[in-house]
Chain A
Amino acid sequence: MQTARQTGWMVVRQARNLMREPIWIAMMIVQPLLWLLLYGQLFKHVDAQGNYPGGFLEFFTAGVVCMNAFFGGTWAGMAMINDLDRHVIDRFLAAPASRLAIVLSQVVRAGITAILQALILLLIALALGVRVHGGFAGWIVVLAASFLLAMVFAGFSNGIALLLRREASMIATANFVGMPLMFLSTILVAFAVMPGWIQAVTRVNPVNWGVVAARNAVYGVSWGQSLAHLGFLLAATAVTALFATWCFRAYQRSI
């Protein structure tokens, strides 16, 4: 209960601070738009073998929503590093602040940001002629996928932030993890055209769990599979959030 309340107030703090950064708000809106338009154009004629029913843009809509969510999550640790550098975290830790609440506030904030961006993306895609065949329930699943995906990686990113405590190391790690996970998923490429070993890796890649859930919802197929994958993501969120909370020990040993 105490943890939930503290998480809530800390999310308010972060959201409020972000709202005071006009550049951040502008980038949050413009970046997904650019991705959708740019990649949409780039891969327009990729569908020679008919692996992309409904056209590449419809295929890519779920992909870009997930790409955006998981990149956002990967970078969530930067806010933790900033708070560590400004000694805000130490102030919280010497007060009766729940460690889990500190982590969850970062994680939930990343999740909410991802939902807002997913909404923007879906609206743009709609304007470009993409249809969400899953209807209202489909929209909810796409938003849930982006929410959970951002949270999974925000938990991981916060743990790394507590272990490394350095911006440069954090950036290197985020890039090192982010790029391969994107290319080892069906964000840009249909499962059917992947080499066998990549297909195998894709199945256990959390990024792809989100893509599968969201893409099924866009196509309006395999609801059971969508829900199962959302469940995997929820479990993964719990794992990474607990990992980050555990990383406070390592941090506190070092100070």
Chain B
Amino acid sequence: MADAIVAEALRKRYKAVQALDGVSFAVHEGEVFGLLGPNGAGKSTTVRVLTTLTRADSGRALVAGEDVLEHPARVRRAIGYVAQDSGVDWEATGRENLLLQGRIHGMSGASLRRRVDELLELVGLEDAADRQARGYSGGMKRRLDVALGLVHKPKVLFLDEPTTGLDPEARAAMWVEVERLAHVESLTILLTTHYLEEADRLAERVAIVSRGRVVVEGTPDQLKRDLEGESVSVELPEQNGRLAEAEQIVGRIGSEVNLEGQVLRTRVPNGAQAIPVILGALDDAGIEVAAVTTARPSLDDVYLHYTGRDFASEDEEGKR
């Protein structure tokens, strides 16, 4: 299968921050590929390099078969880009936004108007098409953004954090939208997200990005299967102050122990066998337990396994 996107050892530095530290991955033609990582991991910078918005300091990138440095104009014609922040012109109507975007791509006349009508319907904005975008909800602006990226029927679509800032309902609608697009428009989609469940649901393959590098790449199922075993979460009561002690005890039984708030998480070969052992050990030490659960590994566990860091807390850190 041909590769729609190839990134090879991309590096980029902004003053004090090494944003990309050798990012490499490949996206096959026609697949939905997820770049998953916490805030500040380098996902958006990667997308900006691939969409020709900015240059990497070193490394090579091919999009739709064209080198982003040698033929940026060809790349721009082949791609649709939905940036993390909405690029909607608030003063213009939805339709005017789309018409101008089409004209920038060299489209015109009746075929452009037909395409715009088609897209307005596709993203469910027919009724709002002739209202100024200023009055659109966050979800509507986001759908207009997606339509703007699709006007010229691109081969490759970049969706940078398509659901960040949307309420749960709009997020679910966007997921359905992306799934439909992947089929109807037969696109290659590169999606970045810091929502694990989003990558799990939408992406056929994911690359997990941490601190400017791809740490692992594969299908979500494959990545979870590779971890083997299950994760066990032990929740201690609010007033329990012996967290460190409990962590030590659990660490003797399972691997990759991680403490977040009052919840201890660990990985074991078999949850059903490990739980009585863990509970027994904690009971012997006189440590009370509020709840205990076991689960198949999630992408969260995959992230923890490959980076040694907890996804949620790293995400918080990245926002600062």
Q: What is A's interface to B at a CB cutoff of 8 Å? A: 2, 5-6, 9-10, 13, 16-17, 20, 83, 86-88, 90-97, 252-255
Contact = CB atoms under 8 A, between A and B. Distances in A.
B132 A90 contact: no
B86 interface: yes
B242 interface: no
Given A94-B52, A94-B53, A252-B53, A87 B85 contact: yes
B79 interface: yes
Interface in B21-75: 48, 51-55, 73
A98 to B, nearest CB: 9
Contact of A13 (B54, B92, B152): B92
B105 A96 contact: yes
9 contacts: A13-B92, A17-B92, A86-B89, A87-B83, A91-B101, A94-B52, A95-B76, A96-B104, A253-B54
A214 B197 CA distance: 66
Given A86-B90, A90-B87, A94-B83, 20 more contacts: A5-B103, A9-B104, A10-B100, A13-B89, A13-B92, A16-B92, A83-B89, A86-B86, A87-B83, A90-B83, A93-B52, A94-B52, A94-B76, A95-B81, A95-B101, A95-B152, A96-B77, A96-B106, A253-B54, A253-B55
Contacts of B53: 90, 93-94, 252, 255
A6 B104 contact: yes
B76 A87 contact: no
Contacts of B104: 6, 9, 92, 95-97
B77 to A, nearest CB: 5
A9 B83 CA distance: 23
B96 interface: yes
A92 B103 CA distance: 11
B88 interface: yes
Contact of B81 (A10, A17, A94, A255): A94
Nearest to A96: B76
B312 to A, nearest CB: 27
A96 B77 CA distance: 6
A252 B92 CA distance: 25
Interface string B90-109: 11100010001101111000
A6 B103 contact: yes
A86 B88 contact: yes
